[in-house]
Amino acid sequence: MSLTKSKKLNDWIEEIQAMCQPDKVVICDGSTEEYDRLMREMVASGMAVKLNEENRPNSYAFNSDPSDVARVENRTFIASVKEEDAGPTNNWIDPVELKKTMSSLYNGCMKGRTMYVIPFSMGPIGSPIAKNAVEVTDSPYVVVNMHIMARVSTEVLHLIETSDEFIPCLHSVGKPLAEGEKDSRWPCAPLEDKYIAHFPEENLIWSYGSGYGGNALLGKKCLALRIASNMARKEGWMAEHMLILRFTSPEGKQYHIAAAFPSACGKTNLAMLQSTVPGWKVETIGDDIAWMKPGKDGRLYAINPESGFFGVAPGTSDNSNPMALASIKENAIFTNVVVTEDGDVWWEDMGYDCPGGGGTDWKNNPWRQDSGEKGAHPNSRFTARASQCPVICEDWENPTGVAIDIFVFGGKRTTTMPLVHEAASFEHGVYMGATASSEATAASLDQAALRFDPFAMTPFIGYHAGDYIQHWFDMGEKLGDKAPRCFYVNWFRKTDDGKWLWPGFGENSRVLKWMCDRVEGSVGAIETPIGLMPKKEDFYFEGLDLSEDAWKELTKVDTEAFKATVESAREYLAKFGNKLPSKMTDQLEALKSRLG
């Protein structure tokens, strides 16, 4: 019996059904009724906990298995036909061999379970930048999270039926149920049987054994970055690990900024920034991923392909990100946090002690805050609709996207890297993004122990990283003088005695203002060997408690330290072999020459 009007989709569903052998198949419609029904079923089974309606309306908490708490990068594969196409930053397995291995695991894996077919759009439905996809899963937890993180609807199914075009995504928790067997609270497979596989030539994703985060919500990193980055290269656009924000001046002039930072460097915090510059306002378009395509006017237009936030909970507080906390007051999903005695949620560094002094921890055990044990897992998460964010931009779902004025790159460096500098050209900006780095550990010497993360994309580039860097240069040539201006920031400089030099948080808006002033041409800059730096008289200091010595340190170019960084970059880039673009070598040599 045909489940949809698309022969291609029906054939694929029947193929997966025959292999995985579910008890039944359900086509998801993305409705509130569907969401509520699945939540009721998961509460009844013990998988979910309904939180107190007064504290946290229409919200639920889940605890994962301790073996299934984060991305499993060592079990994540790019199964390109040729190994060289995967490159040095990816794990490669021959696609024929991988399909044979995974087909064996998939055989009968959904017995005793329901197979959910989720039609979804990454990006506003019908947008010229969006893509339609279908995820098949046996996890109701995945379905409800996908309701929030992607646009699941019968409208997407109709578009697929009309075009016969979709990206197929197969997922299973890898835990079939024998007749009469009671399900576990969080079903998953052992680590050695977990596979997160991408087949770039087929635009195909197969995931097995994990029910957590980006391993299972296949629209997120798997499709939106690994598969999409490869599609973008072929089709002439960009899929990037970037926040998108709108920064509006007191006069109403809008600037759109896309920023790429490695993990734990403040991407979500910047996306929801509370500006301290009078009259300037930040609005959120996206906090994690940007899809960008040249428009008819030659500028680069960006959409947020996601429709929700899948944020790290620990450290999210009224001090660090009040807008994120406001976004999860209701209609939210929490995974691996503390459930308090009064039926609310709590995590470390939330800004206040756990109400009642304890509750149930992420391992589903009784827990007290004074025990010395962490109650929430460090990678515990919240899932919330972007539309609930108080500072969401009115154009965040504009199908055309927003025109990007500025690219920002950055990392966590306690020494060497200044607060902000601008690239002398787009090609110089590509070099800055490709050599973005963070300190390997807090105790490491900045010059000697750096972790490079090109464009914050190392775990997410779906093909050879050298070709990926070349694509950035190609896009620069295509955009020409309409290419965004490029800047590099570092909020994390410290004094010799370990104190922060820059206050960060809302004060970062002062740096964004200088960038916008540069785009306008209303301020000059100081030329340095590493790029263009702000003149003190052009930077907005009013109301900022910052000493003259601190400013000098934040804008100092330590040539000897930079020479060491250049050598570290040269050593890192060597791994790309003959795929390293010659323009990268040119930029490296030019920087070395400028440093003397």
Q: How far apart are CA 202 and CA 417, in angstroms?
A: 41
Mean pLDDT across 581-589? 98
Same domain, 447 and 544: yes
- Is the separation of the CB atoms in 106 and 15 below 8 Å? no
Within this chain, do residues 451 and 536 fall inside the same structural domain, yes or no?
yes
pLDDT of amino acid 450: 81
Grade residue 2 by pLDDT with cuts at 50, 70 and 90.
Answer: confident
Q: Is 103 among the domain residues? A: yes
Share of the chain above pLDDT 70, in %: 98
The whole domain housing 315 covers: 308-388
Picking from 202, 235, 268, the residue at the C-terminal end of a domain is 235
Mean pLDDT, all residues of the chain:
96
Q: Are residues 487 and 377 in the same domain?
A: no
CA 153 to chain centre: 23
Question: Residue 53: inside a domain, yes or no?
Answer: no
> Considering the domain boundaries, does residue 209 fall inside one?
yes
**Is there a domain that residue 48 lies in?**
no
Q: Are residues 462 and 565 in the same domain?
A: yes
Please write the tens of the pLDDT for every residue from 152-205: 999 999 999 999 999 999 999 999 999 999 999 999 999 999 999 999 999 999
Q: Work out the pLDDT band at 263, boundaries 50, 70, 90.
A: confident
Q: Are residues 101 and 221 in the same domain?
A: yes
Residue 449's pLDDT is 67
**Among the three residues 235, 251, 275, which one is the final residue of a domain in this structure?**
235
CATH code for the domain of 380: 2.170.8.10
Confidence band, pLDDT 50/70/90 cuts, at residue 150? very high
Query: Each residue of 410-469: pLDDT tens digit?
Result: 999 999 999 999 999 999 999 999 999 998 643 333 444 689 999 999 999 999 999 999
pLDDT by residue (tens digit) across 286-298? 999 999 999 999 9
- Please compute the mean of the pLDDT values over residues 570-578 and round it to a whole number: 96
pTM of the model: 0.97
Q: Which residues of 173-184 are buried (b: 16+ CB within 10 A; e: fewer)?
A: bbbbbeeeeeee
Residue 212 has pLDDT above 60, yes or no: yes
Whole-angstrom Cα distance, residue 52 to residue 44?
16
For residue 498, what are its two tokens?
């370990």
Cβ–Cβ contacts within 10 Å for residue 480, how many?
9
User: Is residue 326 predicted with pLDDT exceeding 50?
Assistant: yes
What is the pLDDT, as a whole number, of residue 1?
57
**Is 38 among the domain residues?**
no
Q: Indicate whether 107 and 207 sit together in one domain.
A: yes
Q: Has residue 60 been placed in a domain?
A: no
Residue 496: exposure state from Cβ atoms within 10 A (0-12, 13-18, ≥19): exposed
Asked if residue 366 and residue 225 are part of one domain, the reply reads no
Q: Residue 78: CB partners within 8 Å, gap ≥ 6?
A: 85, 86, 90, 91, 92, 198, 200, 226, 462, 463
Q: How far is CA 526 from CA 345, 426, 537, 590, in A?
A: 49, 18, 11, 18
283 and 338: one domain?
Answer: no
Are 345 and 50 spatial neighbours (Cβ–Cβ below 8 Å)?
no
Residue 176, domain CATH: 3.40.449.10
Q: Are residues 312 and 369 in the same domain?
A: yes
| Helices assigned H by DSSP within 397-462 | 426-434
Residue 335 Cα to chain centre, angstroms: 17
pLDDT digits (tens, 9 = 90+) for 62-87: 999 999 999 899 999 999 999 999 99
- Which residues pair with residue 384 across a beta bridge? 309
Tell me how far apart the alpha carbons of residues 328 and 316 are, in angstroms, rounded to a whole number: 11
pLDDT digits (tens, 9 = 90+) for 515-553: 999 999 999 999 999 999 999 999 999 999 999 999 999
Q: Are residues 230 and 246 in the same domain?
A: no
Query: Reduced to 3 states, what is the DSSP secondary structure of residue 479?
Result: helix
The one catalytic residue in 28, 109, 169, 265 is 265
For residues 341 and 518, what is the distance between their CA atoms, to the nearest angstrom? 52
Among the candidates 388, 419, 434, a domain finishes at 388
pLDDT at 480 over 90: yes
d(C-alpha 11, C-alpha 75), whole Å: 29
Cα–Cα distance measured from residue 432 to residue 427, given in angstroms and rounded to the nearest whole number: 9
Q: How far apart are CA 148 and CA 383, in angstroms?
A: 7
Q: Is 265 an active-site residue?
A: yes
Q: Which residues contact 573 (CB under 8 A, 6 or more apart)?
A: 434, 435, 580, 584, 588
Residue 180 lies in a domain: yes
Verify that 447 and 550 share a domain, yes or no.
yes
- Burial class of residue 281 in the structure, from the number of CB atoms within 10 Å of its CB (0-12 exposed, 13-18 middle, 19+ buried): middle
Inter-CA distances, 121 with 36, 152, 218, 433, Å: 21, 7, 12, 29
Domain count of the fold of the chain: 3
The confidence score (pLDDT) of residue 262 equals 84
Q: Is residue 68 part of a domain?
A: no
b/e per residue, 554-581, with b = 16+ CB within 10 A?
bbebbeebbbbbbebbeebbeebeebbb
Q: What is the DSSP string of 48-102?
A: EEEPPTTTSTT-EEE---TT-SS--GGGEEE--SSGGGT-TTSB---HHHHHHHH
DSSP character at residue 129 = T
**Claim to verify: residue 449 and residue 578 sit in the same structural domain:** yes
What pLDDT score does 446 carry?
Answer: 42
Structural contact between residues 157 and 119, judged by C-beta atoms closer than 8 angstroms:
yes
- Region 367-393: what's the mean pLDDT? 97
The answer to whether residues 60 and 333 touch, using CB atoms and an 8 Å cutoff, is yes
The CATH number of whichever domain residue 500 belongs to comes to 3.90.228.20
Amino acid identity, position 460: F
Strand partners, 172: 208
